[in-house]
Amino acid sequence: MRKAYLFILIILNTMISGSVYSQKLTASKQAPGAALLPVPQKVSFTDQRYIIDAGWSITTGPNISKNNPAILSLVSGLKERFGLALTNKVTAGAGNIHLLIKPGTVVIGPATDTNRTALTLQAYEIKLKAGKITITANGAPGLFYGVQTLVQLLQPENGKTFFTAGEIVDWPDMDLRMIYWDNAHHLQRLEAMKRAIRQASYYKINAFTVKLEGHFQFQSAKPIVEPYAYTAAEYAELSEYAKAHYIELVPWIDGPAHISFILKHPEYQALRTFPNSNYQLDVTNPKADELLLGMFDELMNANKGGKYVLFSTDEAYYAGMSTGEKKRAEELGSNGKLLAAYIKRIADKLHAKGRKVIIWAEYPLTINDIDAIPSHIISGVYNKDWAAKIKSHGMRQLIYTSTQGMEPHFPNYHKPAGKKAAPVNNAVVVADDDEPQGEIAKGRVGEVVEGITSTIAERNADLMGVIVAAWGDAGLNPETFWLGYATGGAAGWKNAGVTPDDLSNRFYKSFYGYNTVNMNKVYELLSTQADFWDKSWDWDFFDFRKPIFGNSYKVYDTPRLARDQTLPLLAVPSGTDLSFKSAWNLNNKPRLDAARKYLSENDELMKLLSQNVILADYQHYNLQVLQSVALLTRQNLNMLLDMKKINELLEISSGLAASNPKAAVALIDQALDQAQEIYNERNEMLQNVTTTWYQDWHPRVPEANGRKFLDQVDDVKDHQPVRTVDMSYLIYRQLKYPLGKWAADLVKARNQFAVSNNLPIKSDMLEWEKYW
């Protein structure tokens, strides 16, 4: 069965990209507008349904060119989703889609954002009746959004495409609906980024901030450039492509913290606030300002016409703590005042170049430091206790939400189990520096929606939008983030009367099509599988990596060992008589019982994914990625249960040693074969996941294009992808688990016993730390 799942995924990797599968269900079983996301502000439908076919035409008002993004999006959307190739040729008696831009036509209703001019430009109305669909907008963005709504509204049924008569009037509740895309630890190929931009625009997301770190070819900071990196021309191409979809690509640079990708390099070590830490730069060093401003300049020059930059100032724990900064902090009055002065200095220069600067206003800033921050700055994170002060200071605010934090492989879209699936040793599982970014008590979608709606209800901030973040620190594939991106953005468009379950169900229909089955169950199972993958191993302190310099409260007097995951060690029988005393299976019974349960659920998950790969109308690559995640979690379950089998084989072998030495040795060989099977399955899984993910990613390699990656980890934050230079971070904990040494010790004991009983010795060794 294991080989079957690997074989199926390999076959799909070669077939799906060139194939489209569709098994049509009756669309009339779906309520009108069931796939609309965001939910429009005002919707009214009749009970009349009409067909749109290839005889229909697309016409426009006089002020709309044939290359208008709304027209291009409509033509491609109808062709790709419904097979309808419409033109502007009007045929007597045939239907027509008419697009109009008429400023002032659509009157918007109540909204959270006070910038009603920006909201009005995004407003539109759609009138649907027999033979005629009219989309009217106040401005070009609204026309584009009206097209996205129309494409989502159409329903396929038995080879035909239907729409329901009615009327929609729509506008956003807030101007900015931004998603954060993390390319810090991998780099999407250019076409994959363009596909992500198109996908975001489909859900009326209008800002896309990308963290690149060394994946941009900085001329002012050449040492940090990684083997694969966008050129300025490629970044400009992405910026223009985003504009054509009414999305702003927003440059992102961290500072003064989170910049080990810079400070690890010898060329920049003099900029560190502490000489022995690569985490944070010295905010009093003019050369540090020069470096970051130069990098911002390069990104902004390749991002012509942009409004925003995101200066990520979070978690600057050590501002004012070093000898070099302490004196200046005392002069200004506090560590927070020192950070505020630094933010002001950088932000003022960016603002002078025409950019609105978004920051994270947080510790070591305090509420008393707000007045020291320029009012032109936008606070990217809402703080209930500070909101009124920030508003009175004249600063606008965004609502920060997170669709993923530190959980591995798949976001916790569904509420995790109330207790650990297996009562294993997790005494050191959470350090104060590694708290998840965002709470998950209600599941990610529930927390995102609750965070947005409750913040708006408080009415004590000048809100202008939302940021939906998804962090790459745990090494997830971004394809797993779309449910959170789409529903979070949708709550920024309309939050009144929406629920997490409704938004999620709308996402499944709009993203995959009407024909999939139990996609909510798929996401639930993926959430619980990934959660158990994490919780099924213990945590302890090891010297595998560079020691940790400090946490969010202090610098450690002596750097401390980093945390890593492990499992209890398997025992080895005596080489003298194969006597074997092991309570491994007994001690790990809760862990193993849970593994059996989750393996059964993985069977269900694999079956559902296989069905939906065939049934889905769209997003086949996304489903391939979900299959790869299911395969990754399955390998862990099989490994745990295989270790149980190994222990059982050694127990039986020990019982036979005195009466049947040959059989006892044969059982040891079976145990070694089982370990080899764990090794083979692990490497096959890694190869399969890598092949799937590299369809969208440039390879993670130590050297390419004349550039080398400097392999040094962050000494405050543990970002799993940085643990290795390639994709082996996905199996890092297995590589560090000493199963190879255990196998060598077992071979030694086996051969000692074999020699004493005139049996052949074994020379094969398990090369555990090697992978393909």
DSSP symbol at 272: B
Three-class DSSP category at 124:
strand
Per-residue tokens: 119: 């909201």
DSSP letters spanning 531-598: HHHHHTSEEEEESSSPPEEE-SS-EEEEEEPEEEEE-PPPP---TTT------HHHHTHHHHHHHHHH
Q: Which of 17-31, 52-66, 285-299, 570-584 has the lowest mean pLDDT?
A: 17-31
Residue 119 has pLDDT above 50, yes or no: yes
Using alpha carbons, select from 201, 49, 235 the residue that is nearest to residue 128.
49
- Quote the Cα angle for 280-285-290, to 5°: 95
pLDDT for position 439: 53
Mean pLDDT across 412-424? 67
Q: What is the pLDDT of residue 710?
A: 96
Nearest by Cα to 257 from 245, 271, 239, 243:
271
pLDDT band at 418 (very low <50, low <70, confident <90, very high): low
Mean pLDDT value across residues 578-593: 96
Question: Measured between alpha carbons, how far is residue 457 from residues 274, 467, 489 in Å?
Answer: 43, 17, 17
- The tens digit of pLDDT for each residue in 198-249 reads 999 999 999 999 999 999 999 999 999 999 999 999 999 999 999 999 999 9
pLDDT of residue 20 exceeding 90, the answer is no
Q: Reply yes or no on whether the pLDDT at 474 is more than 80.
A: yes
Q: Domains for the chain: give ranges and CATH numbers.
A: 2-9+567-698+738-756 (no CATH), 39-170 (3.30.379.10), 179-520 (3.20.20.80)
Quickly tell me which residue has 């991002």 as its tokens: 303
Give the tens place of pLDDT for each residue, 375-387.
Answer: 999 999 999 999 9
| pLDDT given for residue 176 in this prediction | 98
Q: Is the pLDDT of residue 7 over 70?
A: no
> Rounded CA gap, 649 and 645, in Å?
6
In tens, the pLDDT along 701-716 reads: 999 999 999 999 999 9
Query: With pLDDT > 90 as the criterion, what percentage of the chain qualifies?
Result: 90
> Given pLDDT bands bounded at 50, 70 and 90, which one contains residue 90?
confident
pLDDT exceeds 80 at position 3 = no
In 3D space, the residue among 266, 293, 261 whose CA is nearest the CA of residue 280 turns out to be 261
Cα dihedral angle (633, 691, 674, 760), rounded to 10 degrees? -160
CB 245 within 8 A of CB 198: yes
191 to 79, 199, 495, 698: CA distances (angstroms): 20, 12, 32, 11
% of residues, the chain, pLDDT over 70: 93
pLDDT of residue 425: 55
* pLDDT of 624 higher than 70: yes
Q: What is the pLDDT of residue 29?
A: 65
**pLDDT on residue 422:** 56
For residue 415, the Cα-to-chain-centroid distance in whole angstroms is 18
pLDDT at 436 over 60: no
Please state the rounded mean pLDDT for residues 161-190. Answer: 97
Lookup: tokens for 522: 């798929």
Q: How many CB atoms are located within 10 Å of the residue 503 CB?
A: 24
pLDDT in tens, 284-300: 999 999 999 999 999 99
For 385, residues 6+ apart whose C-beta sits below 8 A from its C-beta are 367
Average confidence (pLDDT) over 341-363? 97
Q: Report the pLDDT value the prediction gives residue 442, as an integer from 0 to 100.
A: 85
Q: Report, as an integer, the average pLDDT of 527-553.
A: 95
Say which range, 55-64, 408-417, 609-618, 644-653, has the weakest mean pLDDT. Answer: 408-417
Q: Mean pLDDT for the chain? A: 93
736 pLDDT above the threshold of 90: yes
Between 142 and 442, name the one with better pLDDT.
Answer: 142
Q: Is 429's pLDDT higher than 80?
A: no
pLDDT bracket for residue 694 (50, 70, 90): very high
